A and B are shown apart, each in its own frame.
Chain A
Amino acid sequence: MTHDHGEEHHLVSYGTYIMVWLALLAFTGLTVTVAGFNLRQVSVFVALLVATCKTFLVLNYFMHLKYEQSIFKIMIFVTVSILAVFIVLTFFDVSFR
């Protein structure tokens, strides 16, 4: 009865969630502030970098990924890789037209 193991939830403390939320708010403040500067090309890069950091926090803590079995991480890696392949191939097409 292997399915019993999933029932043993890894409990994350309330404090951890509140810290993650504060970090997310800080990142939002950062991205809004940086957008105020005129950084041209760099600003997109910074915006996406901050969004990626926020996503990392949400995935790992709110979505509990940090505490899940590795099958979940592998599945997410595969999906994100597929999306990355789509993006790269599309830009190969668009850039060399």
Chain B
Amino acid sequence: MDTRVTMDIDGSPGTAEVVFHEHHDYTGGKIGMWLFLFTELLLFGGMFILYAVYRSKHPQEFHQAAMELNTLLGTINTIVLLTSSLTMALSIALLQRGKKWPSLGFLSLTILCALAFLVNKYLEWSAKIHHGIYPDSQELLNFDKGEVLFFGLYYSMTGLHGLHVLVGGIILSVMAYFIAKKPKSRFHFVPDRLKDLQGSKLILASQEGKELWRGATIDESVDQISIIVKKPATEKYLDRRNIGKLENSGLYWHLVDVIWIFLFPLFYLIT
């Protein structure tokens, strides 16, 4: 974002116009986010290759072991995640249109969906563990090799995915805080024109010309002049940088959804 604040500094002689600006690379941020998502894709991709190889070696055992999984819980979690992706997209769409509080509402719904997913996962895993099916358990070691592999992959892949849901929920909560708090930004005086101001002073004055504050003389040691802008936390004042941040958080959240889109049929629907 490149917000520009133009202000007149009353100097002598005449009036000097200075431009304050805030540099923000929107596209760069988005490319960075995608690059990170690619590392995630390859991380999960590696695990999917492992799954594909073991499944091709033990098709019957995978089929047998998948019977143990609760398809209903899996389907519910799929619906929960898909819905959370919708609320995420709506939250972004609302913020882009400057509707801060509705956006925050949908963001909260997304976080609730993340929690619901994790609660479901907890119930699902607890039931498995209760039945003695967990990595290295006595019960599981009596199963066929292919079934042991299936449950090993099940725990590591849905576990890693669950961890991503947890992290996603935390990221979205931090975003909710960013959106809700008072917009505050720091604008910097364009540096190449700073030397024009050497020997001057900054003064804050009231409308009647009464001096409220006078800064030190600007000399060679000064290499930055900035203004901190703080606004009340009302719907009217939106920190537009949050739009880019929320979009990138949304990208992460949707990736988590995409990974589940593949995990769900491969683990729950192969019975």
Q: Are A61 and B89 in contact (CB under 8 A)?
A: yes
Confirm or deny: A42 has a beta carbon within 8 angstroms of a beta carbon on chain B.
no
Which residue of A has the minimal Cβ distance to B88?
A62
Q: Are A32 and B258 in contact (CB under 8 A)?
A: no
Q: Are B90 and A25 in contact (CB under 8 A)?
A: no
Confirm or deny: B83 has a beta carbon within 8 angstroms of a beta carbon on chain A.
yes
Q: Are B53 and A94 in contact (CB under 8 A)?
A: yes
Per a CB cutoff under 8 Å, which of A4, A6, A35 touches B271?
A: A35
Confirm or deny: B254 has a beta carbon within 8 angstroms of a beta carbon on chain A.
yes
A-B pairs with beta carbons under 8 A, tally: 130
Q: Are A25 and B82 in contact (CB under 8 A)?
A: yes
Residues of B within 8 A of A91 (CB): 52-53, 56
From residue A85, how far is it (CB to closest CB) to chain B in Å? 11
- A62-B85, A71-B31 known; A86 and B257 CB under 8 Å? no
Q: Are A32 and B86 in contact (CB under 8 A)?
A: no
- Interface range on chain A (Cβ under 8 Å from partner): 35 or more
- Name which of A48, A63, A75 has the most chain B CB atoms within 10 A of its CB: A63
Q: Are B266 and A28 in contact (CB under 8 A)?
A: no
Per a CB cutoff under 8 Å, which of A3, A11, A14 touches B27?
A: A3
Per a CB cutoff under 8 Å, which of B41, B243, B266, B269 touches A9?
A: B243
Q: Are A28 and B89 in contact (CB under 8 A)?
A: no
Q: Are A35 and B270 in contact (CB under 8 A)?
A: yes
Q: Which residues of chain B from 99 to 146 have any CB-CB distance to chain A below 8 Å in the complex?
A: none
Residues of B within 8 A of A44 (CB): 270
From residue A60, how far is it (CB to closest CB) to chain B in Å? 11
A86 vs B52: C-alpha distance in the bound complex, in angstroms?
12
Instruction: Report A63-97 CB contacts with B as 1/0, cut-off 8 Å.
Output: 11000110110011001101100110011001000
Q: Are A79 and B38 in contact (CB under 8 A)?
A: yes
Q: Which residues of chain A from 8 to 56 have any CB-CB distance to chain B below 8 Å in the complex?
A: 9, 11-14, 17-18, 20-21, 24-25, 28, 31-32, 35, 43-44, 47-48, 50-51, 54-55
Q: Are B90 and A6 in contact (CB under 8 A)?
A: no
Q: Are B26 and A6 in contact (CB under 8 A)?
A: yes
Confirm or deny: B193 has a beta carbon within 8 angstroms of a beta carbon on chain A.
no
Confirm or deny: B213 has a beta carbon within 8 angstroms of a beta carbon on chain A.
no
Residues of B within 8 A of A47 (CB): 265-266, 269-270
Q: Are B34 and A72 in contact (CB under 8 A)?
A: yes
A83 vs B130: C-alpha distance in the bound complex, in angstroms?
37
Q: Are B93 and A3 in contact (CB under 8 A)?
A: no
Pull 11 A–B residue pairs with CB atoms less than 8 Å apart, ordered by A: A6-B26, A17-B86, A17-B90, A24-B85, A43-B269, A43-B270, A59-B258, A62-B257, A75-B34, A83-B42, A91-B53
Nearest first, the 8 closest Cβ-Cβ pairs linking A and B are A6-B26, A35-B269, A47-B265, A21-B86, A6-B27, A79-B38, A83-B45, A17-B89
